[in-house]
Amino acid sequence: MERLIYQMFILGTGDALDSALAKGLGGVIFFTKDIQTKEQFQTLIEDIKSKAIIPPFLSIDQEGGRVERTENIHPRYLSPRMAFQKGEEFLHKQSKEIALELKDYGINLNFAPCADVNTNSNNPIIGERSFSSNADDVIKGINIVSDEYRTNGIIPCLKHFPGHGDADRDSHLTLPCIDLPLDVMEKIHIRPFREKADMIMVAHLHCTCFDDEVIPASLSKNAVGYLRNNIGYNGVVISDDMVMKGVQDFGAVDACVMAILAGVDMFIYRNADKETIDIIQGVLNRAEKNEQLKRRILESNERIKKLKQRYLL
């Protein structure tokens, strides 16, 4: 059970990373601080792979533009919006370049593309990370990027379900509220998440169409249940970074347990430190006394294993 639970976590680098890899950690996420030169980064990844008892997801946020992690090595790519506006041929070309670069480093999972439809001009967190304010254009963009990633051996991850595009606050700093009726959400913001997806990241957003009580979609049985039951998605569902303020008020272990029971399979924590290891241990302690939680952990591990097998990890 300890190994199964560790498989559900993707951690950043830190003092506790080696011990977590030895217990079956599911993956590692890299940030700018981890990437100084190509050779240094390749060596870091090889070292991590050698210490992992189960082949890990080796992941990054490399969207292009504002959100990418290789600025110490080369200038930024164009943002998704700018690349999309330059035409489909350009978007294919840039997406392939990103995929081949990541593959060369040893990365196998990119938390991109953004499937958010940026309908709020005052959105402080999405903006040019979205292909467009039009759902059809977003669908076109995510399919081009995802296809290029898959073709070149990188797992794409659609984010941020059920759509971060109408937010007027940053979920890194607070819990935004999306106060739109379900039919509007379905017509615009949820539509891109009906496309083919290997992995979907669920956001720390309170969506009133799913829950009257204030709860992030990432912990919500109604929101994740919609993804599973209404859309019929049976791939890996991963949380946005669990250290973000949008989810902090729910208690670290409680939040993970709520999310697992809701249907979330994996969690991102940007730090591999004692505090994060204590959270994983806390989930293990709960699982030992909760049969429903145990069953959900087994289901999640089946999904994780299938995805790793599909990409020959």
* Res. 232 pLDDT band, cuts 50 70 90: very high
Predicted confidence (pLDDT) per residue in 276-302, tens digit: 999 999 999 999 999 999 999 999 999
User: Which pLDDT score, from 0 to 100, does residue 244 have?
Assistant: 86
| Nearest residue to 138 via CA among 187, 71, 210, 202 | 187
User: Which pLDDT score, from 0 to 100, does residue 55 have?
Assistant: 98
Q: How far is CA 252 from CA 24, 219, 249, 269, 272, in A?
A: 21, 12, 8, 11, 15
User: Which pLDDT score, from 0 to 100, does residue 163 have?
Assistant: 97
* Res. 246 pLDDT band, cuts 50 70 90: confident
What is the residue-averaged pLDDT of the chain?
97
User: Which pLDDT score, from 0 to 100, does residue 198 have?
Assistant: 98
Q: Residue 219 and residue 127: Cα distance in Å, rounded? A: 25
Q: Is the pLDDT of residue 102 over 90?
A: yes
Cα distance between the two ends of the chain: 21
Q: CB under 8 Å, gap of 24 or more: what pairs does 138-142 form? A: 138/192, 139/191, 139/192, 139/195, 140/84, 140/88, 141/80, 141/84, 141/91, 141/113, 142/113, 142/114, 142/115, 142/192, 142/195
Q: Is the pLDDT of residue 70 over 90?
A: yes
CA angle centred on 57, ends 54 and 62, rounded to 5°: 165
- The pTM of this model reads 0.97
Is 154 in a helix, a strand, or coil?
coil
Which tokens belong to 37?
A: 């030169």
Question: Do 72 and 120 meet the contact criterion of CB atoms below 8 Å apart?
Answer: no
* Torsion 177-61-236-129 (CA) sign: positive
Q: 151-185 burial string, b = 16+ CB within 10 Å, else e?
A: ebebbbbbbbbbbbbbbebbbeeebbebebeeeeb
Q: Residue 67 burial by CB count (10 A; 0-12/13-18/19+): exposed, middle or buried?
A: middle
Q: Residue 12 and residue 294: Cα distance in Å, rounded? A: 25
Predicted confidence (pLDDT) per residue in 187-199, tens digit: 999 999 999 999 9
| Nearest residue to 105 via CA among 161, 165, 37 | 37
Predicted confidence (pLDDT) per residue in 141-160, tens digit: 999 999 999 999 999 999 99
Predicted confidence (pLDDT) per residue in 200-221, tens digit: 999 999 999 999 999 999 999 9
User: Which pLDDT score, from 0 to 100, does residue 176 have?
Assistant: 94
Q: Residue 82 burial by CB count (10 A; 0-12/13-18/19+): exposed, middle or buried?
A: middle
Q: Mean per-residue pLDDT for 156-184?
A: 95
Amino acid in position 177 = C
Residue corresponding to tokens 């039009």: 134
Residue corresponding to tokens 């890299």: 30
Q: How far is CA 39 from CA 15, 106, 182, in A?
A: 22, 11, 48
Query: What are the E-state strand segments in 152-299?
Result: 155-156, 158-161, 177-178, 199-202, 206-207, 236-241, 266-269
Is 261 in a helix, a strand, or coil?
helix
User: Which pLDDT score, from 0 to 100, does residue 248 have?
Assistant: 86
User: Which pLDDT score, from 0 to 100, does residue 292 have?
Assistant: 98
| Nearest residue to 237 via CA among 205, 207, 259 | 259
